Amino acid sequence: CVCISAGALLILAAIVALAVALGLRPWAPGWYHKTSNNRTGFLCDDRAACIPASQVCDRASNCRNGEDEQEMLCGDWPHSLPGYLVFRCSNSKYWIYADKRCNGMNDCGDCSDEMGTACPLCGSDWWSCSPVLYEYCSCIPRRLCRDGIQHCQDWSDEYVCTP
């Protein structure tokens, strides 16, 4: 009987410990922030620096006190990253840092990070065409125009576009 009680107590203690651990998991509100350019970033403890999502858990301290690399955020990477910092690709097996969305680059591999109304059309630094390389989606950087290498299916990068 004593043995069972001790076992039950241990289980109870484990449940309580788990609940406490899970209870501590939610992220403190106000830590995460939209940056001035409307990208989701990570607000450092000084409440002044807001670093891009992809600098969180990259093994380099970008906040003054290194809170972007703390165990609570990075201990179970990528699951421990808050949803604010993550974009799920169409293929739910893949994810990217939120700041890689709408940056012109095919980070998901299927361009799902570059689709939708959230993403602006090709900016002035980009040339609109169907790229031949997987790294781009619907535009290529203008610096690749007239560089002697085909980047657009229709060759417009070599014959129409100007850098």
Pairing, β 50-52 against β 139-141? unpaired
CB crowding 128-157: b at 16 or more within 10 Å, else e? ebebeeeebbbbbbbebbeeeeebbeeebb
User: Could you tell me if 106 and 136 are in contact, meaning their C-beta atoms sit under 8 angstroms apart?
Assistant: yes
Paired residues of 41 in beta bridges: 33, 52
Q: Which of 59, 58, 67, 66 is nearest to 31 (CA)?
A: 67
Contact yes or no for 83/70 (Cβ under 8 A): no
Chain residue whose CB lies nearest Ca ion: 107
Q: Taking CB under 5 A as the criterion, which residues in 48-67 touch Ca ion? A: 55, 58, 60, 62
- Options 30-38, 68-76, 78-86, 121-129: segment touching Ca ion (CB under 5 A): 68-76
Of the two residues 109 and 146, which places its CB atom closer to Ca ion in the complex?
A: 109
- Per CB under 5 A, contacts with Ca ion among 99-158 are 100, 103, 105, 107, 113
Which of 13, 118 has the CB closer to Ca ion?
118
Measured from the CB of residue 69, what is the shortest distance to Ca ion in angstroms?
5
Residue 68 near residue 52, CB atoms below 8 Å:
no
With binding defined as CB under 5 A, does residue 45 bind Ca ion? no
Listed ranges 22-30, 70-78, 93-101, 123-131: which one lies at the site for Ca ion (CB under 5 A)? 93-101
**Which of residues 107 and 157 has its CB atom nearest to Ca ion in the complex?**
107
Total chain residues near Ca ion (CB under 5 A): 10
Interface with Ca ion (CB under 5 A): 55, 58, 60, 62, 68, 100, 103, 105, 107, 113
